[in-house]
Structure 1
Amino acid sequence: MARVALLSNPRSTGNRSKLPRVRSFCAEHKDIFHYEVEHVDQIGTALATIARVNPKVLVINGGDGTVQAALTELHLGGHFGDNPPPVAVLPNGKTNLIALDLGAHGDPIVALKRVLELARTDLAPHIVSRELIQLSNGHAASRPVLGMFLGGAGLADIILFCRNKIYPLGLPNTVSHVLTMLAVFVSILFGIRAAFLPPRPAPVRISVMKQGELQGRFALLMVTTLQRLLLNGNLSSPGQRPGTMQMMAIEQNRTTLFHVAVAAIRGRLGRLRVSGVHLEHGDEIRIEGDHSSVILDGELFEANVGGPIVLRPTAPVPFLRLAA
């Protein structure tokens, strides 16, 4: 039996330089079953094949789109019945939020070695549960897309600005992210509007089941089931089960954003009450706007007036945490 099944997408940005080393490592370790796909449409077939070898761990090696497609197919495809293997994610792509949340960072070979080491022991102490976010149009007949981190409102605009304006410059990821944050800072602080800066967030309406409704312009809208978040934040409230769906919305206001920045630097964002920062937990979140973009694990979707995006949580899914 293969202890580890590795699903790789050679077309993801990070794999263009790292995949040869991954292939060599797998060739040296016969208890790794390595399956490569050329397109996300092949992931269903890949998981059906992987299920036949009954791995202890499923490792995903690809960008955000690959991870999202694999999680969607894993949850909805039924390839593993009621007992899917725990999932690990190698550090890859541009942001790696899911990998970071699970303790994987830096060299993917180091992370893969750690997965193999854990797979040769009792996995139970290293398993963590996370809900997945189901994104749909709210109709029962529609097939949802699943992920773990959604950015909307101004955050989606910033991600798209970085993707479309900064990444094409070919700079290292860290430099690209710093330049993006500087552009955001200039735009907010001085109120400058220009083609080379992120746009002003469009109005959106956010409804959280049993919690009420928010409406306005938000510099950041974030819905996630991850524990390690952007801005050094923590959304978990006392008594809340880890890995549940949670939302943060930050109003587009200079005073609010200043207090948010201070709280983030201190590592207290989500723990301190800040005027204009809304923290909610619910079993259904609706986002509606005039062609308002949201990004779920790197994939772009659009919310419209009368055509909201609906987010619901799944049952908890097992993941493998690599950190000690």
Structure 2
Amino acid sequence: MGLIYNPRSHHNKGQDLTSKVSPDVFVAQPGNRDQLPDALARLAERGIDLLVINGGDGTVRDVLTCGEPIFGDDWPVVAVLPKGKTNALAVDLGGPSDWTLQCAVDAFENGKRIRRSPMAITPLDQPDARVLGFILGAGAFTLGTKAGQSAHKLGAFNSLAVGVTTLWGILQAVFGSRANPWRRGAKMDIRLAPNGVPLEHSGMGEADRRLILLASTLERFPGGIRPFGSLGKGLKLAVLDQISRWMTLMLPAILFERGPKNLRERGFHQLAAKSFDFELDDQFILDGEAFPAGRYRIEAGPEIEFVAP
């Protein structure tokens, strides 16, 4: 077994480093992201069967991104100890917040196995800079992430932080003017595979702008929200045009599948996609980290087997 331990993750206090579960647990504690490839390569050379990631969603993103050139399509089984400020993947896998290294080892032997493919995000002008992650958002989602960081400073994490930032965004969108960033969104050109067909626009607001783009391969989300409705496995998109104030007020109901019908005509698109390209004039967020504006291709990455209780 190999353990990647991120001492900078919010809930880490070193307890798993001192755990004497087994002499066969090889611990790597890279000091920064640049040291991750070497740490993962050493674990791969040892022929590990289980890779335990101790950290939050950002740590998972970095490990998967740095590990893809090493493991390719032959990953070890992966376990996630949810130690970050946000732990959406752990929520999807059903892992409790107090999971320990011993729990992960026990689950490897007796628990469930869940297969997930992270998204692969590739800059079209820099194909070697591909990254893997599970939640991508743009437009007001970028503002929401910054608001979420403020919520973290106030002590709100995971589902509570989702609720706080959602409420704040809705208030801004309802009572703000069109100049308000929460209502203005970002310029986006979204084109669906295989033929590069543009994603339809409802006609609400400016045709070249969208309020929010959200993409993910997860199936369950913090707070029980369902941004993709009944869509299940695979790569999914939820795109919000510049909707009316009334529809903004309906967003909480929509996120729990209790909203009005004919959502596409009202400016809310939910769809599954094999892959898609998008170009935007603002930053986007991948698992909590901001990435620059530009043109990107989003598709499913390698299928990885995760352990669950």
Normalised by the length of structure 2, the TM-score is 0.83
Aligned to 1:116: 105
Counterpart of 1:302 (choices 292, 295, 306) is 292
Q: How far, CA to CA, are the matches of 2:115 and 2:210 in structure 1? A: 30
Q: CA shift at 1:41, angstroms?
A: 1.1
Aligned to 1:45: 38
Counterpart of 1:66 (choices 59, 67, 71) is 59
**Structure 2 residue 212 is the aligned partner of structure 1 residue 220:** yes
Question: Which stretches in structure 2 are left out of the alignment for 5+ residues?
Answer: 201-206
Aligned to 1:207: 191
Which secondary structure does the structure 1 equivalent of 2:199 belong to?
Answer: strand
**Structure 2 residue 137 is the aligned partner of structure 1 residue 151:** yes
Contact 1:288–1:309 (CA<8 Å) still a contact in 2?
Answer: yes
Contact 1:59–1:87 (CA<8 Å) still a contact in 2?
Answer: yes
Once the two structures are superposed, the pairs formed by residues 1-324 of structure 1 within 5 Å of their partners are 4-15=1-12, 18-19=13-14, 21-25=15-19, 27-75=20-68, 77-78=69-70, 80=71, 82-109=73-100, 112-121=101-110, 126-139=112-125, 141-163=127-149, 165-167=150-152, 169-173=153-157, 177-191=162-176, 200-209=184-193, 210=195, 211-214=197-200, 215-229=207-221, 232-233=225-226, 235=228, 242=233, 244-253=234-243, 254-265=245-256, 267=257, 273-274=262-263, 275-290=266-281, 292-303=282-293, 307-320=294-307, 322-323=308-309
CA RMSD of superposed structures (Å)? 3.0
Q: CA shift at 1:289, angstroms?
A: 2.4
Residues 124-147 of structure 1 deviation map (CA, whole Å, 9 limit, x = unaligned)? xx2222222111222474330111
Gap change, CA 1:218 and 1:212, over 3 Å in 2: closer
Q: How far, CA to CA, are the matches of 1:272 and 1:42 in structure 2? A: 50
Residues 44-80 of structure 1 deviation map (CA, whole Å, 9 limit, x = unaligned)? 11111111332221111123332111101222x22x4
Gap change, CA 1:158 and 1:193, over 3 Å in 2: farther
Gap change, CA 1:226 and 1:141, over 3 Å in 2: closer
Contact 2:229–2:255 (CA<8 Å) still a contact in 1?
Answer: no
Which secondary structure does the structure 2 equivalent of 1:22 belong to?
Answer: coil
Contact 2:114–2:305 (CA<8 Å) still a contact in 1?
Answer: yes
- Tell me the matched-pair count: 296
Which secondary structure does the structure 2 equivalent of 1:108 belong to?
Answer: coil
Q: How far, CA to CA, are the matches of 2:40 and 2:271 in structure 1? A: 35
Q: How far, CA to CA, are the matches of 2:79 and 2:208 in structure 1? A: 38
Q: How far, CA to CA, are the matches of 2:28 and 2:106 in structure 1? A: 20
Q: How far, CA to CA, are the matches of 2:250 and 2:229 in structure 1? A: 19
Which secondary structure does the structure 1 equivalent of 2:53 belong to?
Answer: strand
Gap change, CA 1:91 and 1:285, over 3 Å in 2: same
Normalised by the length of structure 1, the TM-score is 0.79
Q: How far, CA to CA, are the matches of 1:115 and 1:127 in structure 2? A: 12
Question: Which stretches in structure 1 are left out of the alignment for 5+ residues?
Answer: none
Q: How far, CA to CA, are the matches of 2:302 and 2:72 in structure 1? A: 14
Contact 1:138–1:309 (CA<8 Å) still a contact in 2?
Answer: yes
Which secondary structure does the structure 2 equivalent of 1:295 belong to?
Answer: strand
Counterpart residue type for residue 105 of structure 2: L
Contact 2:73–2:303 (CA<8 Å) still a contact in 1?
Answer: no
Which secondary structure does the structure 2 equivalent of 1:288 belong to?
Answer: strand
Q: CA shift at 1:175, angstroms?
A: 5.9
Structure 1 residues 210-219 or 6-15, which shifts more? 210-219
Contact 1:152–1:222 (CA<8 Å) still a contact in 2?
Answer: yes
Gap change, CA 1:14 and 1:273, over 3 Å in 2: farther
Contact 2:192–2:198 (CA<8 Å) still a contact in 1?
Answer: yes
Q: CA shift at 1:194, angstroms?
A: 9.9
Q: How far, CA to CA, are the matches of 1:194 and 1:105 in structure 2? A: 42
